[in-house]
Structure 1
């Protein structure tokens, strides 16, 4: 082998073995980062971001909504405890309270929620479960007073509403706020979203 030439005798007694990775190793999920932006409404519409939260262990619920105009300016917001006994009921009650607040501005209303089940329910002709049918009926009556549209957004596109809902669980009473009285954390979120800075959603892609 001094001259770099391999001969048959050099391979005598040598066996070759190849280890093939398992199917799972070849297709292991890879995390993906997706940018989710908050989109302002067109003038003269206002946008109502809404969220409801329910803690089954303590049977406590809270809701929070925020209303912004086409520039991203905060017109009003609230956080409140809710008399709800399911996540669905909390989401619906939050929308009801948000609509009542948004109607004060006498403009078309774009409602945005991260609860896909609620969006599908209110955009259909169904009433949903018996324990929420009264709330659905109230929402439909409120919708008749103004031009209203309802759409879904991922949770990362509803950070302001999510924060307010969590504040609502810990609140003792309904708390209404505006651009000058809202907490600094909420102000930071709305300022970032008004500038068009996206929030990042991390998900796992197991299709590749």
Structure 2
């Protein structure tokens, strides 16, 4: 069967998404009774300016499991949309760059013109800003991101 491994990968992605959601709610003062691992670092979400939407992107590689995700929110923190992607054979930088690309594409399709972008990959951010050499495996993804950026009035 060609797709015999799809279900477990989807289940892992869902568990990761739920875990991130629980951590977000706990860090942002929403009541939860579930305990969260005290060794984890929680980063609190900060809203965008009223005229902007905020795109958060990230990726994860754990063994042979690779996932990219993004979420788009308005200035009140309400989710406009998001997506999680299962990817095979990618490096962490490729995964994060793909999450950024897919998030920008999503926001573009929704018609947003002003966007704040937040991610934790220094390599991806510096590559997009031409602040250093872009690794060969990121070049096509970064070029896509730069091209998409021309469709926005303002990106922070």
TM-score by length of 1: 0.50
The unaligned stretches of length 5 or more in structure 2 are 1-40
- Post-superposition CA distance 1:133-192 (Å, at most 9, x none): 00010000001100212xxxxxxxxxxxxxxxxxxxxxxxxxxxxxxxxxxxxxxxxxxx
Find the partner of 1:39 among 34, 43, 46.
46
Find the partner of 2:92 among 81, 87, 91.
87
Displacement of 1:102 in angstroms is: 0.9
Instruction: Determine the C-alpha separation between the residues in 2 that align with 1:90 and 1:35.
Output: 21
Residues 1:123 and 2:129 are matched in the alignment: yes
Q: How does 1:54-133 map to 2 (within 5 A)?
A: 54-55=61-62, 57-58=63-64, 60-103=65-108, 104-126=110-132, 128-133=134-139
TM-score by length of 2: 0.66
User: Could you tell me whether the CA contact under 8 Å between 2:57 and 2:119 is conserved in 1?
Assistant: yes
User: Could you tell me whether the CA contact under 8 Å between 1:48 and 1:65 is conserved in 2?
Assistant: yes
Bigger RCO (CA 8 Å, 6+ sep): 1
Q: State how many pairs are aligned.
A: 114
- Post-superposition CA distance 1:36-91 (Å, at most 9, x none): 43211111100001101123x32x32111111111111111111112452111001
More strand per residue: 1
Instruction: Determine the C-alpha separation between the residues in 1 that align with 2:103 and 2:151.
Output: 14
Look at both structures and tell me which one has the larger radius of gyration over its CA atoms: 1
Instruction: Determine the C-alpha separation between the residues in 2 that align with 1:44 and 1:121.
Output: 26
User: Could you tell me whether the CA contact under 8 Å between 2:113 and 2:151 is conserved in 1?
Assistant: no
User: Could you tell me whether the CA contact under 8 Å between 1:47 and 1:110 is conserved in 2?
Assistant: yes
The unaligned stretches of length 5 or more in structure 1 are 1-33, 150-208
Instruction: Determine the C-alpha separation between the residues in 2 that align with 1:131 and 1:88.
Output: 9
- C-alpha change, 1:84 and 1:141, in structure 2 (3 Å) is farther
User: Could you tell me whether the CA contact under 8 Å between 2:58 and 2:120 is conserved in 1?
Assistant: yes
Instruction: Determine the C-alpha separation between the residues in 1 that align with 2:142 and 2:113.
Output: 22
Tell me which residue corresponds to 1:50. 57
